Amino acid sequence: MMTLFVATRNRHKAQEMAAILGTAASVRDLAVLPGAPAAVEDAATFEGNAAKKAVALAAWLLGEGRRHLPPDGPWFALADDSGLEVDALGGAPGVASARFAAVDDTTGRAASLDNTPDADNNAKLLRLLAAVPWEQRTARFRCALALAPLSRESGLGEIRVFTGKCEGRIGFAPRGEHGFGYDPLFYPVGHEQTFAELGEEVKNRISHRAQALAALRDYLQGQGML
């Protein structure tokens, strides 16, 4: 069985990946990789951050963390970077989506790269959009997945990046109990419910991450690995 070591401590993301890729892949997140390093997510793009995280995890797995590699491959380090772009805010929060509450409204910079609570991020987004009508609350979720193949003999292989996006609008108040992040505020195009109301089954078909994972799955199937 193929093993995907996912560079995330967000259990929701890992569960979404496992659900979409199916039983042919064993998905392991950082919760089962004690000592794995956390890459600094300071790139200007989702693709750049995903690649940084994948390379950092791959290097650790091929060195200090080699004991975590199963006897048989193939093995991959997989990293996700994703976020929300709101047109009325010039594309913000973008790569700062997970720490949006700490971003200075004037400079666009955060004092720290640490994540801020989902509730705080959502509250700030609603505050900034308070005077923006529904028609102008267009937004999209974007996802970039960086896949780094690992080999005991040849080390780190060529990194491939897969992307996806989901268009929608931002609501006026949180709705729904499922999902995480901005899901309670995001209405995907063609739906009158938020991601948090639609639930995992629908979200895992239409989300930005679902699209990126579908592209990843197609690639792995084409390589005979799934």
Active-site choice (81, 104, 105, 183): 81
Question: For this structure, is 87 an active site residue?
Answer: no
Paired with 68 in beta bridges are none
Q: Which residues contact 131 (CB under 8 A, 6 or more apart)?
A: none
- The amino acid at residue 70 is P
Cis status of the peptide bond prior to 93, with omega within 30 of 0:
yes
Half-sphere exposure of 27 (CA within 13 A, CB side): 23
Phi, psi of 148 (to 5 degrees): -120, 110
Helix, coil or strand: residue 2: strand
Q: Which two tokens stand for residue 216?
A: 């990843």
DSSP string, 105-123: TTT--BS-SS---HHHHHH
What would the two tokens of residue 189 be? 């195009």
Q: Please, are residues 17 and 6 in contact by the beta-carbon 8 Å criterion?
A: yes
Q: Which DSSP letter does residue 76 get? A: E
CA 17 to chain centre: 10
Is the Cβ–Cβ distance between 125 and 182 less than 8 Å?
yes
By annotation, the residues acting in catalysis are 81
